Amino acid sequence: MPDPYSLRVNGVDCEVADSDIAESLLFVLRERLGLTGTKNACTEGECSSCAVLIDGVLTCSCLVLSATAAGQDITTVEGLGDGRDGLSVVQEAFVDEGAVQCGFCTPGLIVAVHDLLEANADPSDGDVREALSGNLCRCTGYGRILAAVNTAAEAKRSQP
């Protein structure tokens, strides 16, 4: 058992005690901290539905041993809303463009698109597709998701 440790999630310090050594950050976020927005679709790094930002770096939380993330700044989908109605421009675009169906891949995509647009304000279609090539979605065929990324990018660029 690891010593108790603290995770800083969405700006809040959260104590983790009595955990098993083998617990992933995904498991701890979901089952110990109640942050179930981060999703558990494959737990093998093949779908990105568990994507979070760790010190600003897009990461599959299923592949992070939780105790090793102590002291790092973790941002989950729950920590991304900022604008109108608590939605970020990315979240708003996903709602408006019909990019959500079952919604299981959505949180990971929201995090990944935030990451993409931070790094590249005006990505080409190829850039978007490559950046999101790890975010599996089984419902949409990606068409509305790509439309939402374009909409979000435009909205972000037009922000003051």
Partner 1 sequence: MSDVVVARSLDEARGALADHPDATVLAGGTDLMVEINRGLRRPSHVVGVAQVPELRLWSVADDRVTVGGGVTYTEMMTTPLADAAPALAQAARTVGSPPIRNAGTLGGNLGTASPAGDTLPVLAALNAQIVVVGPDGERRMALDDFVVGVKRTSLRPGELIVRAEMDRPTGRQEFLKIGPRNAMVISMAGLALVADHDARAVRCALGAVAAGIPRARDAEAWVAERIDWDNGAGVDDAVAAEFGQRVAAASAPIDDHRSTAAYRRHAIAVLATRALKRAFAQGGSSDA
Partner 2 sequence: MTSEAVNTAAGGSTATGTGTDTIVDAGTRGVGADVGRPDGVPKVQGRFAFSSDLWADDFLWGHTLRSPHASALIRGIDIGPAVAMAGVYAVLLADDVPGCLTYGLEHGDQPALADGQVRYVGEPVALVAADHPDIARRAAEAIVVDYEVSEPVTDAEAAPTAAPIHPDGNVFREIAIRHGDLDVAGEVVVEGVYEVGMQDQAFMGPESGMALPDEDGSVELFVSTQWLHVDREQIAACLGIDEEKVRLTLAGVGGAFGAREDLSLQVHLCLLALHTGKPVKMVYSRDESFLGHVHRHPAKMWYRHHADRNGHLVKVEARIVLDGGAYASTSSAVIANASCFAAGPYKVPAAHITGLAARTNNPPCGAMRGFGAVQTCFGHESQMDKLAAALNMDPVELRLLNAIGPGDRLVTGQLITGTFPTAEVIRQCAYAPEPEIPLSDDRRDLPGGSGRTTDAADTVRGTGFAVGFKNLMFSEGYDDYSSAACRVSDGVATITCACAEVGQGFVTLAQQIARTELGVDEVILAPAQTATIGSAGSSSASRQTWMSGGAVQAACREVRAQILADVAAEWGVSPDGLVLRDGLVVSLDGQQEALLAQVTAGTGYEADVEYHHAPTEALDENGQGNAHVSFACAAHRATVDVDPDLGLVRVRDITTAQDVGRILNPTQAVGQIEGGIAQGLGLALMEEIVLDDGIVRNASFTDYVIPTTLDMPDVTIAAFVEEPEPGAPYGAKGIGEPPTISSSAAIAAAVRAATGQALPRIPIRPADIALG
- What is the C-alpha to C-alpha distance for residues 101 and 98, in angstroms, rounded to an integer? 8
| 114 binds partner 2 per the rule CB under 8 A | no
* CB of 136 vs partner 2, minimal distance in Å: 6
Using the rule CB under 8 A, which residue among 9, 28, 39, 60 binds partner 2? 39
Give every strand in the sheet of 73-75, ordered side by side. 12-16, 5-9, 73-75, 51-54, 57-60
Residues in Cβ contact with 117 at an 8 Å cutoff, skipping those fewer than 6 apart: 90, 123, 149, 152, 153, 156
Contact criterion met (CB below 8 Å) for 99 and 145 = yes
Residue 78 as a binder of partner 2 (CB under 8 A): the answer is yes
131 token code pair: 């950046």
Instruction: Give contact residues for partner 2 (rule: CB under 8 A).
Output: 20, 22, 27, 30, 34-44, 46-47, 49, 76-78, 81, 85-87, 91, 94-98, 100-107, 110, 126, 128-130, 132-146
Instruction: Give contact residues for partner 1 (rule: CB under 8 A).
Output: 1-3, 21-22, 24, 43-46, 48, 51, 57-60, 62-65, 67-68, 70-71, 112, 115, 130-131, 133-135
